[in-house]
Homo-oligomer: A and B are copies of this chain.
């Protein structure tokens, strides 16, 4: 079965306005899928959709919706009612940053809404139809921050761990039904959001990462285009796919270390990009 037959005719990409999400959508379109794009910012969505339509002979549909709102599910159900979704890429993320106790409770709950509740609902609704059809794909975008507790992003890491295990469990339940469900563990990535944080905090890599000037020990961010493309080479390689072999090697090495050391090192790395005053990296 070819890509379009297996994962088409429509892909739904949640968190698709720019960066990694937009690149996922482009990869789908390049392989012949129509793409339904979901994000909060209408203008950014339109720009991404226009770019895709100009380059590929596919249809697009833009859905302005916030995965952090309770009405998200209803909005999507209505907007997608006439489409057959063969591929779900859940890339939306809330990333409340700062000390857990300093972050407003509402932001922690929004994090759960975006990273746990919304993907659970979509997997339940769209997964059912995929299993009935005997084909499809579900990608839950997780993070290296899901692999151990992470200072300054405690609830974010926890929610990404939820997505990671959701993807792994669905892989095991759906693999005999023709559906490739899995978690995509994304390492440090150079995205528009990354650039904005660099700029906002006066850090030196707003315009690109010079490896020779990068802090030793901190993971070198990889271009989002590369991270997006890697996913499409591994759609059948669940339950857990890493965005780079180096990240997988590091995770495997960490598993042999005392847990205390793993969490401490992650905490120190997370602070390299976090100098206070930043309450959310979700733009």
For residues 223 through 281 of chain A, which have their beta carbon under 8 Å from a beta carbon of chain B? Answer: 238-240, 252, 255-256, 259-260, 263-264, 267
Protomer copies: 2
For residues 118 through 133 of chain A, which have their beta carbon under 8 Å from a beta carbon of chain B? Answer: 120-121, 123-125, 127-128, 131
User: Which residues from chain B contact A99 at a C-beta distance below 8 Å?
Assistant: 173
User: Which residues from chain B contact A267 at a C-beta distance below 8 Å?
Assistant: 172
Q: How far is the CB of A226 from chain B (nearest CB, A)?
A: 22
Most buried by B among A101, A105, A127, A173: A101
Inter-chain contact B124/A100, CB cutoff 8 Å: yes
Tell which of B155, B160, B259 touches A240, judged by Cβ atoms closer than 8 Å: B259
Tell which of B100, B131, B260 touches A123, judged by Cβ atoms closer than 8 Å: B100
Does A24 have its Cβ within 8 Å of any Cβ on chain B?
no
Q: Given A165-B149, A260-B239, A116–B112 Cβ distance below 8 Å? A: yes
Does A209 have its Cβ within 8 Å of any Cβ on chain B?
no
Inter-chain contact A239/B263, CB cutoff 8 Å: yes
Does A169 have its Cβ within 8 Å of any Cβ on chain B?
yes
> In the docked arrangement, what's the CA distance between A263 and B168, Å?
7
User: Which residues from chain B contact A260 at a C-beta distance below 8 Å?
Assistant: 238-239
Inter-chain contact B263/A256, CB cutoff 8 Å: no
User: Which residues from chain B contact A169 at a C-beta distance below 8 Å?
Assistant: 100, 149-151, 153-155, 157-158, 263
Does A166 have its Cβ within 8 Å of any Cβ on chain B?
yes
Q: Look across to chain B and name the residue whose beta carbon is closest to the beta carbon of A248.
A: B259
A selection of 11 A-B contacts at a CB cut-off of 8 Å is: A100-B169, A101-B127, A105-B121, A116-B159, A120-B158, A150-B172, A158-B162, A158-B163, A158-B165, A160-B165, A161-B165
Q: Taking beta carbons and an 8 Å cutoff, which residues of A are in contact with B?
A: 99-101, 105, 108-109, 112, 116-117, 120-121, 123-125, 127-128, 131, 146, 148-155, 157-173, 238-240, 252, 255-256, 259-260, 263-264, 267
Kindly list the 7 A-B residue pairs having the minimum CB-CB distance in the complex, ordered from nearest: A149-B168, A154-B169, A255-B255, A149-B169, A161-B161, A158-B165, A158-B166
